[in-house]
Each structure stands twice: as C-alpha cells, then as structure tokens.
Structure 1
C-alpha cells in the first residue's frame, strides 16, 4: 500500500475524485472537503488530504485532516487503514481523532494507538442515512423563508449550540459555525422557519450537489420551540428543495445518543445506509 498526501483540494480530487464518486453518498464528506469553496474548515496549519493506492496504483481509500478536527476517512481495507495510520503518524503526530466507516475507523484507531502509545476512546456512534424521496406535510405551522445576511449572527449562534458535542474548543466551534452559516446564506442555501406569528424558530441549510448527492447541514431549532415539530419541518423542507433541484439523494448523519432525532429523520424519509463512529486520541 502507498499513501500520498497534499494540501491542495484540487490535487486530491484529481487523484481520488473518480474513486470517491463511485460511492457519492458514502463519500460525500470527502467530496465536500475537496470541492466546496467552504469545504476546508478554519484550523491550524495546512489541511492534509490523503489517498491510499494498492500495488496496481488503484485508489482504495482516502481521508482529510485539519487540526484540531477529527479526521474523516472513507471505508477501506484493514491493510489500507493501517498503512494510512503508519504514514500519517509522521505527518500529523498530534492528530486529535478519526471518524468514518466504523470498521475502518476502528482499525485506524487501533494502529494509531500502537504507534503513538495514546489511548483511542470510542465516541459518538452514528448512522449515515440517505433519502431519495420525501413529501411536505399539509398541516405545517408557519413556513420557511430564505435567510438573509441579517440572520447571520442568530443562525451562527444556533449552529454553535448544535456543535457543542463535537470535541472542538469553543473558539474553533465559533469559527466553523460562522463559516458554515455565512457560506450557506451567501449561496442561497439556507432557510429560517417562522411560526404562525412570524417569529424565527429555527434554521437549516444544505450543501452543494456533488455527484448527485446533497447534505443538509446545520438543522437547529431554538430551545424555546423544541415541542413544535420544527426539526422535522426544517429537515423535510431542505431535503425536498435539494431533491427538487437535481439531487438524486440527500444524506445526513444521525448520532445514536440523540434517540429523539431518529424519529425526525425517519419521518422525513431517511433510512440507514452505513455505520460510522468516531475515536478521540488521548
């Protein structure tokens, strides 16, 4: 196995993009990092895009790292995951953690622990979920409007609250939340839901279309309005808009610790596609 790295999203996509697009739903996060103008989050040092090739030169795995985030990686063979760890330990010895396909993340984390002497703590088990059709409810309370720059401060604060369990320091959460919210607003890819009285109760956005797949991002309902079913309305609305505007599918990540959210995503029409997990290195 051979591992190659670059700080260039364009170089990474040229090397691994065709392989990633064979499974665009499972690999959506890596495609976002490579192709979205806002796909490289603010962080420390240069980003590190990695791809693994076998003896014939074919791509068999990929990953993206930017300190201090946990590194997303694709599904890959055990040998490829171990080779990736063995290479990256020389490039990113202070890597905070890894996230992705459960089996590959487990092998990578185990090898990383062997190489560094650190402990790999399993955290935040997830389901990657996919939706190919949905319907809007007839009895929705209130309705959506497009977000404007005047909404940025409020929505960024909401998104910060939604990232509280990410393991990132508060200043990094604030930077990432504002980047995400600002990019969505500038791109016309974010809505605010207002109740029947015109009060903003939540917001949601969606990403760009990569190989037919769009990811809703930043779905958040104000704590004062959690009982109104607005999470379902927000996720359903952005999913419907994505599918109506050319997406073959939408994907989202469901964190298993938030049991109440499973009913929300299933009601919209999402179903389990793959098991993901995260490991924190300490």
Structure 2
C-alpha cells in the first residue's frame, strides 16, 4: 500500500490492529514539483533526442534494469512500456557526441495540466557524468514548453544522489509518501 506518509502510516497501524497482519515500512518516497528550471552547468557533451522505434530493444533493457535497481517487480512489462512510450514520444535519450545513448528520462502524457517524469535511468558504469541531470532537465523543459502547468517526479528517499540532483535542477518538495507491506 502506498500513500501520503502520515495517512499511509495511520492506515498501516489500523490494518495491523484490525487484522493482526504485520505491517512494515518498505520504502519512503518524495514527490517533487518543478519550480524554476535550472539546467545543470556544465552540460555533459552530447545532446538529447526523442527515442524512436529503433531504440526499442535498448529501452526495454534499460526499463528492466531500472525496475531491478529500484526493487520494482510488478507493473507493466518492458515491451508494452517501450511501445507505448515510443508511440507517444515519451522517452528522451541523452547521447554522446558520437551518438551512443547513455541515459534516458521518460515522461507521462499530460493529464489535467500535469506531466510526470519517470523513469530516469543511467547504466551504473556511466553514472556521475551529468547525463541524468541533462536528460531530466531537457524533458522538464520540453514539458513546460508543451504547456504542462505542473511537472512532477518521485524519488526514493534512500537515494541521496537523485534527491540532490533533482533539487539542483529546480524541483521542490511537495510531500512525502510511504510504501507499506503487510504479512510476514
């Protein structure tokens, strides 16, 4: 079960009291909203480009790697996810000057003036070079330019690197969420 931190914690305690099922906090998340975008400087060498059908296999691999890295086993499969995001133009890649993709950021379709950035992924051996910041800034800029009133993203509070990065780009805390598990 996932929800705003204090509400979810209250429900978990009540559920445990009512059913006797053990409740445990699985993950703490933070919801951020873009304030004033601040593009990271210096920008890494390369450029952003929207992923196309020729990137499908790469996106599928990176989506599965992202899910594994964050401990997410359920949800949409990599193939359907890649197809849907490519069709809507919902994944941007950062590629080096020689055209090698090194990071990705996905965005949801705009709904009620909101766009959600997710997932953001850079393979482990390419991290620490500014690629995730650059591609996240680019999808954020594009969402605002496209008319989104609110650009949102979630982070795992156990990952100080991503939390610091998003704040440097201009994201500001909205509220904290908690994910609870029940049973043994």
Fold shared, TM-score > 0.5 on shorter chain: yes
RMSD (Å), alpha carbons: 1.7
SS at match of 2:127: helix
Taking structure 1 as the reference length, what is the TM-score of the superposition?
0.60
2:62 aligned partner = 158
1:219 and 2:95 correspond: no
Which residue of structure 2 lines up, in the alignment, with residue 116 of structure 1?
Answer: 19
- The 2-side partners of 1:118 and 1:137 are apart by 46
1:274 is paired with a residue whose SS is strand
Q: Specify which of 143, 148, 160 is matched with residue 259 of structure 1.
A: 160
Deviating 4+ runs (over 4 angstroms): none
* Map 1:52-201 → 2, pairs under 5 A: 98-137=1-40, 139-140=42-43, 141-164=45-68, 165-168=70-73, 172=74, 175-201=76-102
Q: How many residues align?
A: 181
Residues 144-174 of structure 1 deviation map (CA, whole Å, 9 limit, x = unaligned): 1111112122112212222223452xxx46x
How far 1:272 sits from its partner (Å)? 0.7
Kept after mapping to 1: 8 A contact 2:2/2:177: yes
Equivalent residue number for residue 205 of structure 1: 106
1:261: Cα distance to partner?
Answer: 0.9
Name which structure has the greater RCO, CA cutoff 8 Å, separation 6+.
Answer: 2
Q: Do the aligned partners of residues 115 and 268 (structure 1) sit closer, same or farther apart at CA in structure 2, a change above 3 Å counting?
A: same
1:243 and 2:139 correspond: no
TM-score, structure 2 length as denominator?
Answer: 0.90
1:271 aligns with 2:172: yes
Contact 2:40 2:133 in 1 (8 A): no
What's the offset of the Cα at 1:181? 2.7
Q: Where do 5+ consecutive residues of structure 1 fail to align? A: 1-97
**Structure 2: 5+ residue stretches without partners:** none
Cα distance, 1:133 vs. partner?
Answer: 2.9
